[in-house]
Amino acid sequence: MDNRSIIYVDGFNLYYGAVKDTKGKKWLNLERFFCRLRPHDDIRAIKYFTTLVEGPALTHQETYLLALSTLPAVEVIYGKFKPKMVRCGVKACSWSGDRWFRVLEEKRTDVNIAVTMLVDVIEDKCDRLVVVSGDSDLVPAISTIKTIAPGKHVTVYVPARNLMRGAAVEIRAAADKHRTLPNDLIAKSQFPATIPDGKGGYIQRPPDW
């Protein structure tokens, strides 16, 4: 099999599964990480799927996205958050006021990944698809790829620091190969604290990252 590879990274799945509440792992250089993870692959692109958050965390996220923009192989593809109202389901809650509150629901990320994978297969842009996610919503896309292009090889890496999150039984079963994302490589694949932005300035690592 040829080794042209495209990497598909579910940004929030990676964050919550592998780097949230850590120090020294959030400033991840995706090119460095995947070149170490897949040293024999001809990596044609790393496609990073995310959605801009709200609140104080947005500043750090935008700084990280600027850092990613300095990497030639990385393409960022955006979804969106959709607000919805949710009723509090805690029966023991003594709050007597309005029990409805606003939350944000991430939309389009899994659809964006699925559609992008299928287009890349149809246009024969890769021989190997490397998916970084534990989301079972991607199973139909992987199954379709195995049906329409059985010569393509799909590997899934599940970002997880505990057994429950790392189970991801459905997406693991759909892939040709599956692994848990190696956390030791994440710590070894960080950007420098300060990196050139390509425009004469610099991008500084957030202090708590």
CATH of the domain at 26: 3.40.50.1010
The predicted structure's pLDDT at residue 12: 94
- Taking only the tens of pLDDT, the chain with its 209 residues reads 689 999 999 999 999 999 999 988 999 999 999 999 999 999 999 999 999 988 888 999 999 999 999 999 999 999 865 455 566 666 666 665 566 655 545 557 999 999 999 999 999 999 999 999 999 999 999 999 999 999 999 999 999 987 666 789 999 999 999 999 999 999 999 999 999 998 999 999 998 88
Number of domains in the chain: 1
In a domain, residue 11? The reply is: yes
In a domain, residue 209? The reply is: no
The predicted structure's pLDDT at residue 167: 85
In a domain, residue 120? The reply is: yes
d(CA 33, CA 193): 16
- 0.75 exceeded by pTM: yes
> How many angstroms from the chain centroid is the CA of residue 56?
21
Per-residue DSSP letter, 191? P
Chain length of the chain: 209
Q: Give the position of tokens 């024969």.
A: 124
Domain region containing 129: 4-204
d(CA 43, CA 131): 13
Structure tokens at 182: 């190696």
The predicted structure's pLDDT at residue 96: 58
Helix (H) or strand (E) holding 170: helix 169-174
In a domain, residue 183? The reply is: yes
In a domain, residue 37? The reply is: yes
In a domain, residue 200? The reply is: yes
Pairing of strands 42-50, 4-10: parallel
